[in-house]
Amino acid sequence: MRIKERKRDGIAILELSGKLMGGPDSETFNQTLQALIHEGIKNFIVNLERVKWVNSTGLGILISGYSTVRKNGGELKLLKVSERIENIFIVSKLYTVFKSFDDEDEAVNSFS
Amino acid sequence: MELATDLSCEQKVIDELSTSVIEACTNAMEHGNRLQEDQQVEIHFNLTESAIEVTVLDNGRGFDFENWQPSEDLMRERGRGILIMREFTDNLAYDYSEDGRFRLRLTKHINSKP
């Protein structure tokens, strides 16, 4: 998995690509979040458009990130979840936890 | 995953089967073989006119898939693999091979593209 990060209106937008399936992905994602939190960022949008596969371990990575951000007083929301990945969120009932958007503007505005 | 794309069936079926096989192999490596590099996971694919059956064998003691119940805690970071396999396959069965390995069978019905 690769992470490309940028900031917009004080929100960190993390564009993930590749496979989110555990292994070193967990550390990479966590370190990225921690570094941005250290910079003072509270709110995050995770763009999953370029993520091809997520497995149950990958879901755990997103949950861990969600908890980390919430503990710091912020929110983590998802952007452009493909049908394949959405299907996994539905069976695991995680769609009730993560707020998800198809449009970046809409996601950014949801924080205000 | 790439193998399944050659089949003439709906993408959703391929995605659900692929995700289930990934979960089965992850379980076999982590819980079955306990991540020991000298232990192998064996996978067999059997394609019929109406279904794909995938068999995953590992060297572990196995797991009671039928009686396992998922935790109610939505924020748990692990423990969703079996749930995903159950939901995404049409049948999930397990037994032991003749040489004593744990054998998980995942069956997914396939339907031709309209």
CATH superfamily of A2-109: STAS domain (3.30.750.24)
Which CATH number characterizes residue B51's domain? Answer: 3.30.565.10
8 A C-beta contact, residue B34 and residue B61:
no
Q: Residue B79: list chain A partners with CB under 8 A.
A: 56
Q: Looking at the domain assignment, is residue B94 inside a domain?
A: yes
Q: Looking at the domain assignment, is residue B82 inside a domain?
A: yes
B interface test, pick of A27, A56, A84, A85 with most B CB neighbours within 10 Å: A56
Q: Looking at the domain assignment, is residue B36 inside a domain?
A: yes
Domain ranges of chain A: 2-109
Q: Looking at the domain assignment, is residue B114 inside a domain?
A: no
- Please report, in tens digits, the pLDDT of each residue of chain A (112 residues total): 999 999 999 999 999 999 998 878 889 999 999 999 999 999 999 999 999 999 999 999 999 999 999 999 999 999 999 999 999 999 999 999 999 999 999 999 999 8
Residue ranges making up the domain that contains B10: 4-109
Q: Looking at the domain assignment, is residue B42 inside a domain?
A: yes
Q: Looking at the domain assignment, is residue B32 inside a domain?
A: yes
pTM comes to 0.89
**B1 CB neighbour count, 10 Å cutoff:** 13
E strands within chain A? Answer: 2-8, 11-20, 44-54, 76-79, 100-101
Give the bridge partners for A12, in sequence order.
Answer: A7, A44
Q: Which of A60, A91, A96 sits opposite B78 (nearest CB)?
A: A60
Nearest CA in chain A to B75: A63
Number of domains in chain B: 1
B interface test, pick of A29, A51, A55, A76 with most B CB neighbours within 10 Å: A55
ipTM beyond 0.90?
no
